Amino acid sequence: MESLKEAVLNCSINTDDDDKFIAALNNIARENGKVTYQVIIQTLTDLDLEPGEAKKCWDEIVAHREKLSNALDRKIRLITAISDYSGAFKTPLNNHKIVEINAYEKVITKVTHDSLTGLFNKAYLRNALIQHLSLAKRHNTDLSILFLDIDDFKEINDTFGHSSGDIILKTVADTISRELRTSDTAARFGGDEFVILMPNTYKMNALLLSERLRKTIEQKTMAIDGKNLQITVSGGVAGFPSDGMKAESLLNLADSALYRAKGAGKNTISLFTDDKRRFLRIKFNREIKVKQLGFNHTRILSGKSKDIAIGGILFENKEPLPIGIKIQVSIPIDKDSEPLLLIGTIVRVEAFGPQQYDIGMILSFKEMEKTAKDEISKFLIQQSKENDK
């Protein structure tokens, strides 16, 4: 219903006369059925009629406007036709309130949007999340959430004042709006927190999109009180159905991933990972070699693996690696066999000391030989049995 209301309001904004407005509404009705007429009547008259009754009223209103226009030899406004129709005939609209569409649109905007940034507000975001989550469950599709906030925003406010803080909030919000896909929904969640809802998006793809947004914001320099400030953001990504099944749970999980990003040194995006992993994961300490995939002249880095599972590997490295890049890892399984080449995507980077970083990589089995997966499986089962002895 909310999406239909938005469509009706958009028709009023994007059409410059009532004839085009009526034609656009009828097109929406052909695509969405009789419920559209219920929304039209509710929007224009503040009355809630059954879909069939609403369609009858709408057809009669349009016909009445045509008769009035022909009789007076000039175009009659739709809102005038509604008022005359309700007064001249005994209809369900006799107790209506005429609603000026532009005034209604302004009221709706105040209710659904944040006044400072122009993004949707928290209440709208929660409702949108529930609706999109319901659709994702019905159609068995993915849905991802990015929880984002501005690094050190309190210090910026304290140093430069709230008016400067407002400028920064608007700038970040404008950048988010420009980077959004048409299917995404962005909201100011409160303070310096933003949430982006990404329907039909697997969380790994959401991570890459979030990284692109983070980098775009990082590249902006703002002049505040004669000083150039570089604004950075941190974020957390969680996805349905892999992480959670309920709206509030997904928000909390994305928020949890955000705090992990803050702990990793800020200006980064973290993917939510559950400590209760779905895959068997064991400690696995080996000297490994790491190289970015697809770059022949990229230097090879040395690291040390910490644990491994069918789904991924955690290793220690002296240098941070960009989230979202694909890497290959050469890892020795035993002394008598060739090192195993694993390919995957960086999803986590966390600093825990000088030149000490934990790097989390999700394995990409589609890009590896099937035998690699089989070897890891056999090794994990063998190690698990030995650990159980």
CATH number of the domain encompassing residue 342: 2.40.10.220
- Provide DSSP, 110-149: HHHB-TTT-SB-HHHHHHHHHHHHHHHHHHT--EEEEEEE
Q: Please tell me whether residues 124 and 266 are part of one structural domain.
A: yes
Q: In the prediction, which pLDDT does 280 show? A: 53
Residue 97: φ, ψ to 5°: -120, 120
138 and 262 belong to one structural domain: yes
Q: Which residue has the tokens 């953001």?
A: 233
pLDDT in tens, 133-156: 998 998 899 999 999 999 989 888
What is the pLDDT, as a whole number, of residue 241? 92
Choice between 143 and 45, residue whose per-residue pLDDT is larger: 143
Retrieve residue 8's tokens: 């009706």
- For residues 253 and 366, state if they share a domain: no
Q: Identify whether residues 125 and 267 lie together within a single domain.
A: yes
Question: Do 302 and 256 reside in the same domain of the chain?
Answer: no
Report the CATH number at residue 172.
Answer: 3.30.70.270
16 DSSP assignment:
S
Residue-wise pLDDT for 287-305, tens only, equals 899 988 766 667 889 999 8
At residue 214 the predicted structure's pLDDT band, cuts being 50, 70 and 90, is very high
Q: Which residues pair with 148 in a beta bridge?
A: 194, 235
Single out the residue of 161, 164, 387 nearest to residue 282, CA to CA: 387
pLDDT, mean over the chain: 81
For residue 16, pLDDT over 70 is answered with no
Amino acid sitting at position 292: Q
User: Would you state the structure tokens that stand for residue 24, as one six-digit string?
Assistant: 């656009």
User: Which stretch, 1-10, 29-38, 190-199, has highest mean pLDDT?
Assistant: 190-199
Please enumerate, as own/partner, the contacts of 96-100 that have beta carbons within 8 Å and a separation of 24 or more.
Answer: 96/45, 96/46, 96/47, 97/45, 97/46, 97/47, 98/44, 98/45, 99/43, 99/44, 99/45, 99/46
Confidence at residue 150, expressed as pLDDT on a 0 to 100 scale: 95
**Mean pLDDT value across residues 255-278:** 77
pLDDT per position as a tens digit, 305-342:
888 876 778 899 998 888 888 888 888 876 667 787 88
Q: In terms of Cα–Cα distance, which of 325, 330, 320, 306 is closest to 351? A: 320
> Rounded mean pLDDT of 5-12?
70
Residue % of the chain over a pLDDT of 70: 80
Looking at the structure, do residues 50 and 171 belong to the same domain, yes or no?
A: no
| 110/179 Cα distance (integer angstroms) | 23
- Give the structural domain span for 49: 2-109
| Stretch 364-375: mean pLDDT | 57
- In the chain, how many domains are there? 3
Same domain, 242 and 295: no
Q: 90, 44 in Cβ contact below 8 A?
A: no
- State the pLDDT at residue 377: 66
What confidence category does residue 277 fall into, taking pLDDT thresholds of 50, 70 and 90? very low
Q: Full-prediction pTM beyond 0.85?
A: no
Mean pLDDT throughout 101-129?
Answer: 76
How is 258-327 classified by DSSP, letter by letter? HHHHHHTTSS-EEE---SS-SS-EEE---EEEEEETT-TTPPPEEEEEEEEESSEEEEEESS---TT-EE
238 and 118 in a common domain: yes
Same domain flag for 144 and 259: yes
H or E stretch covering 166: helix 162-179
